[in-house]
Amino acid sequence: MNKIILVGIDFSDCSVNALEHAVSLADKAHADIKMLWVNKPDNTRNLYDIASDEVLLEAEKRLQGMASKYQARLTNGKIDFITRKGKVYKELVAAAEEFDVFLIMIGTHGSSGFEEFWIGSNANRIVTATERPVITIRGGVDINRTIERIVMPIDSTLESRQKIPITALIAKYYNAEVHVLATHITTVKDVRERIMEYIKQAERYLEENQIRFVIKEIEAGNISDSVIEYATAVNANLISIMDEQEKAAANIWLGPYAQQMVNHSPIPVLVVHAKNYIAGIAM
């Protein structure tokens, strides 16, 4: 049975861009794609300028057309769609559980359509409300670019290591190089040594799974800004983070690290939910 990638669709260019990236990943991962469209009656009329009772029929027609179009590109899986009614983030999270999805992919600037579904708080609601890995993709990301380099920052939290298996798996699908980034926000020796021990664990895991990698240390005043700057400099195609990270004093007024990354990164972001425990780093 194939894995399932769930993609939020509102027919904006941004959500279609996310779907294009999902097709690329699904084909390599031998995964199926399930598109989800959520009907919010108060907002749908503006998109089609038709009566609200016709909106669902129009949406299903469009979804069917998209499924037919992208099925031709998906040689190792199938694509279909579902529709729901309610709050976008709640319905997407519920569908992810219902279908036991491998990954959620969403665009973060869906400004046309029923509402600005994926901007700011809604994208972060999805990220924090689900235990499934989420890839967020801002509008304008080149759909023709493959994943060649993944930046994976490691900090001093235990949870930081939990993203290693899924990052390695995606890297393996694309034969991508992982840049393991030791992010130092303090001069405290014990903390810095702990980070470097976690870096060694990541190195061993990647070696065992035959993933190409680079180790790099950076001094990070603001973790989000520093990671984005590094990822941009190395022309990375994906940044892999946790949804709970340590916070520097500089971050207090700007919100959590993951929220900053989702909102500001010009590079797609893989967000992995932090568990409350660690039982080793196992696939």
For 212-258, the pLDDT digits (tens) are 999 999 998 888 899 999 999 999 999 999 886 444 443 333 346 77
By the 8 A CB rule, do 43 and 16 touch? no
Q: What is the mean pLDDT of residues 88-117?
A: 78
In a domain, 279, yes or no: no
One domain, residues 176 and 81: no
In a domain, 199, yes or no: yes
The answer to whether residue 180 scores a pLDDT higher than 50 is yes
One domain, residues 214 and 154: yes
One domain, residues 165 and 263: yes
One domain, residues 181 and 132: no
φ/ψ of residue 151, rounded to 5: -95, 125
By the 8 A CB rule, do 33 and 4 touch? yes
Q: Which residue has the higher pLDDT, 246 or 165?
A: 165
Looking at residue 273, its pLDDT comes to: 86
The answer to whether residue 48 scores a pLDDT higher than 70 is no
In a domain, 143, yes or no: no
The answer to pTM > 0.85 is yes
The answer to whether residue 42 scores a pLDDT higher than 70 is no
The CATH number for 11's domain is: 3.40.50.620
Q: How many domains, in total, are found in the chain? A: 2
Q: Which residue has the higher pLDDT, 146 or 167?
A: 167
- Letter string b/e over residues 142-153, b meaning 16 or more CB atoms within 10 A of that residue's CB: eeeeebebbbbb
One domain, residues 130 and 197: no
The answer to whether residue 120 scores a pLDDT higher than 60 is no
One domain, residues 206 and 233: yes
One domain, residues 116 and 198: no
| Position 118 confidence tier, pLDDT thresholds 50, 70, 90 | very low
In a domain, 280, yes or no: no
Amino acid at 99: F
Q: Which residue has the higher pLDDT, 75 or 275?
A: 75
Cα–Cα distance for residue pair 122/90, rounded to 1 Å:
10
The answer to whether residue 32 scores a pLDDT higher than 50 is yes
Which among 82, 120, 128 is positioned nearest to 271, based on CA atoms?
A: 128
One domain, residues 105 and 35: yes
Looking at residue 108, its pLDDT comes to: 80
Within 10 Å of residue 99's Cβ, how many Cβ atoms? 14
One domain, residues 109 and 213: no
One domain, residues 52 and 78: yes
Look at residue 154 and give its three-state secondary structure: strand
Tell me the residue range of the domain where 46 lies. Answer: 3-137
The residue among 105, 137, 169 that closes a domain is: 137
